[in-house]
Structure 1
């Protein structure tokens, strides 16, 4: 293995996640290169930075100045904003035993802190998610919030939480007596929403369930993160028709659903969730009811001899337009079977809605609806617009009391506190209207989102995929979950998915084999690689000379492969084929998008065989090459055989 700092001609793969702050600095630098400078971190490394004084000079006329500027702020906001830009060295390790149909499924289930998960996914799923649905803690004073604590010392954490939790739990109870009651919740949500926005497609949307405890603050925060112009609606969801009996003044029977678009100008219109018989269309694809009167009794102005003054003669197949007085009509056309339409109100002849040319154009496009005394323009909207109040119906039962998933000895309402109704998530997926959507839920809890995705796919033949993330939070002692043998929340979530899949398959036997009922399970863990190369000062010279591997013990080839895929921005669901080349194992990801070989010894012939496949990327273990010259040779082989391949070692 080459010594640290020795030139080998092949690049080491960076083991940390995407540095969003540096990426943003790069974007600013492209607009204003004169503001770029350098700064030195605590380890003496130089980084590109922004000279804000120069940037202020350039934008001085557009910068808000003084204390009286509009802003939404809270204690800790600056740290929350910085946290969103900090990279992580964590990675995802595959858990084959907990997975279902690992080799074929495109669904993903991740156990771990969702802040770390969102950072890890930044490169692989940047601008790739169609829809995000989350049901975060509502901050009722009885639930918990994630205790990120940003860059606090351990002593500061202990003082802030008044706790020395030996289990290392990431959740702390947020009681209303806490002086930072709202701030703690906002600090928890802010970086997660910033990172979530990065993952959305430009046409993507995010749905966030919330109640009145934080609805106003969440709206203000989302206006800042997503842009007020991208606010779609605050839906009122009637999930408790009887109302809460413990309310002092008003019996609350709904919760809120905030919806934001990444870019509202290109987001697809929602499908309406009204009953299907309200959506009947005619043979030409228009809604059967009339939208507006074009000819007949209307509120138009009095006829004045212009191009909107005409009578319409219609025989069921053709039309003839003629300019006539109120009491004139063509006897011959009437005799030939034409019916006459005029715009008359209170004995006065009115002008029609459109000019003759426009009226002929609508007739040619089958956009006219002829009634007894009037002619209407058909409703040409692609969808009927969804109303902002959604009530439970026979088709969409949204009630919380009917939310349980019950299958044999598994009852989601007993195992979870207030699980979401799968019909509710199904309704949102239906509203989205995309049968091939990729769905993300990083507060997955009871895995209702996965259940809803599988149900709707079975019903309409869709191929929606999901990515779920939840904590391995221990279940409460003496709880139904504990008595059932579960130790952590994520265990229950995965079991819910397995049982829901079996139930859907038994109820839809014709869909078995055609739908994806599996999931790849992953767990957040530390990097598979020792940090020898990025922080050499923390290792002695003796360590560097004696080290035979920069890979941690008990890490498998698949562990390494998925960390490499994540760092190279490749999706976790990509197909992975295992091949044998000259007696060593090679992993082929997405049909030559990546070839990975982690064998301990790789011959020159094997390198040439891999290069001859001309992959887009190739990765090898650093220790697989005896010295620097062999790695230089690796580079030369690819330059000669497959010069377009990106080659790195780990």
Structure 2
């Protein structure tokens, strides 16, 4: 039995190079020899399904693609530093906001959040020429790009031809598209790992990169998992040359479309306008003193005076203009059968004259038995005599859902106005409309009240705002993870866009209670803020300073805390950042307990006596609520006064039943 503490940084996670190699070794041991892949052997094992070297294949290709793919497999080298002073309700919230480059952050999250995210929404840079700021140091040089793209001949001479200006434009355009694709590719590959099998990703885009993004999504998620291409028509331009434009798109892919079909997943929305009409009817009913005729007239008058643009948006609620004796809004529906059926053709007597009412040639929509039940329920509205065909009484509060529409109109200017009022500053241009995001997030998660939502191009924080609004509506426990680059803005007191993100969430969270009923349960309006940084552990570089044993006693970067180290340990070991945490003071240091499955002790200068005290405290705390899962203990690599103390501590833990020991 080994008494060693295995270094945390020796571990690997899903999607990383070593993990991929391990998977191949398990599946095809004959193709992995001494930790390297025999590509020819692997091709033989795959048979006709393997593409021969140099074979032509259908799909998107661009210069720099291979390097971009490789970036997705690299393990993260950084960490996240907790920013409690920037956070809201740190101890209780399960929402997360992270400031830093999203590729490294995604790699950090991969170990703890693989197969745990329900929906990803991202609004990446549209690559219009002035909004592309990501640089992952993976794009080839201009000369290399021109050579791979075929713009230089074998001697390296630039082939411009007669149309040199156009050729220059083509080269610049190709390079720009390649850079954008190489930025998106590794991020989407890591995102694919994070999604559940029933998960969905929504990517906003405009015409500039729509076609290339569609092909890229086909490559990463599989063309068979394409779900929808949503068109959002905003306000167009009156001075446009060809069309008024103003369209954004949302490409939607499932992690496994087949899985969604097997589980009979359906993305629906309420028919438009139901809530607006219901509110108008409620006011009419109260103001009429519960008089059905007066309330109906008031509701019809509301419809007549509704502005045309509002009336247009009420869609399927258009026919609901009457109020019955119980204050319920209803519309008159057809009772005819869609197809001629003999068993649906029968006499239906008028309740007053007793004579058969006029029947449609196809017959009735209901059987005789069902029709009798509907009449007893008061759902059939007869005319003054048998010459008038009866109608079906359809209530507004029973308005059925409909498949969500992939094309819609909504002016995007309203989102900008809302954010300016919320922040009291015109600091962020063109934010995404959080009401639109709420609608689509709710639809693709089938109103899952516990959904985990990720946005790694967070911008002003519209996605987090949307999640809180959905929770406020139905009392759900959805949570968000937002990642935003610390892009400078230096405007109105905001240093970076991440500052804007956090402030929007603070202010939106403070408004939430006003949207809830007085007796509604409180929802999570807080967030934990983190900042991407280099590892807390000093890298080994072989310099004389590090060779000095006195310098090597403390392996942490100056200024970092035990809490910082705890977060890095959680990320490297695949523990979710919002895992419940308890602490106790033990042997003059702090003992961390993460949900009873992982304990950490980062104090230093541990003697044998202190080590024994910590070992006893660990066993006692574990035994207070013993579980079936293995319990891990993590310590600092340089925590002990000597190696003998470290070995004695490990032996005491093993004797107490702890089987997994790690060091950082």
Q: TM-score range by the shorter chain?
A: 0.7 to 0.9
Residues 187-198 of structure 1: pairs in structure 2 closer than 5 A: 187-198=182-193
In structure 1, what is the equivalent of residue 597 of structure 2? 593
1:455-503 Cα deviation digits (max 9, x unpaired): 222222121111111111111xxxxx52x12222211221111122223
Residues 458-477 of structure 1: pairs in structure 2 closer than 5 A: 458-475=472-489
Unaligned runs of 5+ in 2: 146-168, 275-315, 320-329, 374-378, 382-388, 393-397, 623-629
In structure 2, what is the equivalent of residue 638 of structure 1? 653
Q: 1:542 to 1:213 in 2, by over 3 A?
A: closer
1:257 aligns with 2:257: no
Structure holding more helix per residue: 2
Q: 1:521 aligns with which of 493, 518, 529?
A: 529
Kept in 2: contact 1:311–1:342 (CA 8 A): no
In 2, Cα distance between the equivalents of 1:604 and 1:123?
32
1:254-300 Cα deviation digits (max 9, x unpaired): 211111111112333212253263599xxxxxx9999998xx67268
In structure 2, what is the equivalent of residue 63 of structure 1? 50
1:149 aligns with 2:190: no
In structure 1, what is the equivalent of residue 563 of structure 2? 558
Q: 1:446 to 1:463 in 2, by over 3 A?
A: same
How many residues align? The count is: 564
1:488 aligns with 2:488: no
Q: 1:425 to 1:289 in 2, by over 3 A?
A: farther
1:410-450 Cα deviation digits (max 9, x unpaired): 246x2112111121212222323222211111101111112
1:577 aligns with 2:582: yes
SS at match of 1:146: coil
Superposition RMSD in Å: 4.6
Kept in 2: contact 1:17–1:89 (CA 8 A): no
In 2, Cα distance between the equivalents of 1:647 and 1:575?
21
1:305-334 Cα deviation digits (max 9, x unpaired): xxxx86788999xxxxxxxxxxxxxxxxxx
SS at match of 1:121: helix
In structure 2, what is the equivalent of residue 245 of structure 1? 238
Q: 2:9 aligns with which of 2, 10, 14?
A: 14
In 1, Cα distance between the equivalents of 2:106 and 2:593?
26
In structure 1, what is the equivalent of residue 327 of structure 2? none
Q: 1:175 to 1:522 in 2, by over 3 A?
A: farther
Residues 621-632 of structure 1: pairs in structure 2 closer than 5 A: 621-632=636-647
1:274 aligns with 2:271: yes
1:404 aligns with 2:428: no
In structure 2, what is the equivalent of residue 531 of structure 1? 539
Greater alpha carbon shift after TM alignment, 175-184 vs 563-572:
175-184
Kept in 1: contact 2:228–2:253 (CA 8 A): yes
Q: 1:529 to 1:464 in 2, by over 3 A?
A: same
Q: Using the TM superposition, give the Cα deviation of residue 105 of structure 1 relative to its aligned residue in structure 2, in angstroms.
A: 0.9
Q: 1:353 to 1:493 in 2, by over 3 A?
A: closer
Residues 17-416 of structure 1: pairs in structure 2 closer than 5 A: 18=13, 20-38=16-34, 48-65=35-52, 67-150=55-138, 177-240=172-235, 243-267=236-260, 268-275=265-272, 277=274, 278=316, 298=339, 383-392=401-410, 399-406=412-419, 410-411=423-424, 414-416=426-428
1:337-370 Cα deviation digits (max 9, x unpaired): 9x9999987xxx9xx999xxxx99xx9xxxxx99
In 1, Cα distance between the equivalents of 2:105 and 2:558?
23
In structure 2, what is the equivalent of residue 170 of structure 1? none
Q: 1:408 to 1:56 in 2, by over 3 A?
A: closer
- TM normalised by structure 1 equals 0.75
In structure 1, what is the equivalent of residue 152 of structure 2? none
Q: 2:440 aligns with which of 428, 433, 448?
A: 428
In 1, Cα distance between the equivalents of 2:194 and 2:547?
43
- TM normalised by structure 2 equals 0.74
1:392-421 Cα deviation digits (max 9, x unpaired): 3xxxxx533443335768246x21121111
Q: 1:430 to 1:274 in 2, by over 3 A?
A: farther
Kept in 2: contact 1:473–1:490 (CA 8 A): yes
Kept in 2: contact 1:93–1:524 (CA 8 A): yes
